[in-house]
Chains A and B, each alone.
Chain A
C-alpha cells in the first residue's frame, strides 16, 4: 500500500472499541460460568454481584431440549432409525446425554 494518511486517532478509537468488545465478551463469559457453578441464572448472578434482590435457587432446574421435526430427521439418520419412531430417538438422546455427563464429570475430577 502507498503512504497511508494519518488516521492514528481514529485507529486508536477502533482499538478502544476492540478492547471493549473483548472485555464485554470476557465479562459475559465470567457471569455465565459463575452462574452455572452456583446453579443460578445469569441475570440473577448479575443481580447478586450488584447486591440487588435475586432468586436464591433456580425455580425449576431442568435439562430438556425441544426437538423440531428437522432435528428428529437428523437424529434418525445419526441413529439409523425411522424419523417417526420418536420414542426410541428420545431414548437414544437421553443415553447420549448421560454418557456425556458421566465422561464430563470423570474428566473434571
Chain B
C-alpha cells in the first residue's frame, strides 16, 4: 500500500464509525497526518517504507515532565507497552510517542484499525501519565 493509494482510501472510508481526515505533509519522505474522528486531539502521523508502515502519535516532550519521577514513568511505560493493544511506547528526539508498525502489504482495513486504536491509545495514555507532567 503506497501513500497515495492510502490517502484516497482513508478519505473515502469509515471504520468502526470513525472518519479520517488526511493531510499530506510535503518533504523528502511523504508523511500523512491523519485525524481520526472522536480523537482529534491526537493526530496520527503515518509513513511507508520498504519494510513497514509506521504510524506514530506524539504524547509529550521531555521538557514537559517532572524530572523527579522520570524513572518511575519509564518503568510504567515499559510495563504498559506490552499489554497495550496494537501499539508500543517509544521516544524520538525529545518526544515520547506511541506507535504501531504494520507490514507494507497490509490492507486498508488493517491500517484503519491501527489508526483508530493508536489514536484512542494516545488519549488513554495522556490521561494515564497526566500526573507525571510538570
Residues of A at the B interface (CB closer than 8 Å) are: 9-10, 12-14, 16-21, 23-24
Q: Are B54 and A14 within 8 A (Cβ)?
A: yes
A-B contact count (CB 8 A): 48
Cβ of B4 within 8 Å of any chain A Cβ, yes or no, is no
Q: Which one, A13, A19, A23, A24, contacts B54 given CB within 8 A?
A: A13
B21-45: contact bitstring with A at CB < 8 Å (1 yes, 0 no)? 0010101111101000000000101
Q: Given the complex, which residues of A lie within 8 Å of B93, measured CB to CB?
A: 18
18 contacts between A and B (CB under 8 A): A9-B50, A10-B52, A12-B29, A16-B28, A16-B30, A16-B31, A16-B47, A17-B31, A17-B54, A17-B56, A17-B92, A19-B31, A20-B25, A20-B27, A20-B31, A20-B33, A23-B27, A24-B25
CA distance in complex: A101, B51 (Å): 54
User: Nearest chain A CB to B22's CB is how many angstroms away?
Assistant: 13
CA distance in complex: A23, B23 (Å): 12
Q: Given the complex, which residues of B lie within 8 Å of A21, measured CB to CB?
A: 45, 58, 95
CA distance in complex: A93, B81 (Å): 43
- From 77 to 115 in chain B, residues with beta carbon under 8 angstroms from any chain A beta carbon are 92-93, 95
User: Nearest chain B CB to A62's CB is how many angstroms away?
Assistant: 23
Question: Chain A contact residues: over half helix, strand or loop, or mixed?
Answer: helix
B interface residues, how many (CB within 8 angstroms)? 21
Q: Given the complex, which residues of B lie within 8 Å of A13, measured CB to CB?
A: 29, 47, 49, 54
Residues of B at the A interface (CB closer than 8 Å) are: 23, 25, 27-31, 33, 43, 45, 47, 49-52, 54, 56, 58, 92-93, 95
CA distance in complex: A17, B95 (Å): 12
Q: Are B45 and A20 within 8 A (Cβ)?
A: yes
Q: Given the complex, which residues of A lie within 8 Å of B33, measured CB to CB?
A: 20, 24
Q: A13-B49, A17-B92 are in contact. List 8 more A-B contacts (CB 8 A).
A: A10-B49, A12-B29, A16-B28, A17-B45, A17-B56, A19-B27, A21-B58, A24-B23
CA distance in complex: A24, B47 (Å): 15
Q: Given the complex, which residues of A lie within 8 Å of B92, measured CB to CB?
A: 14, 17-18
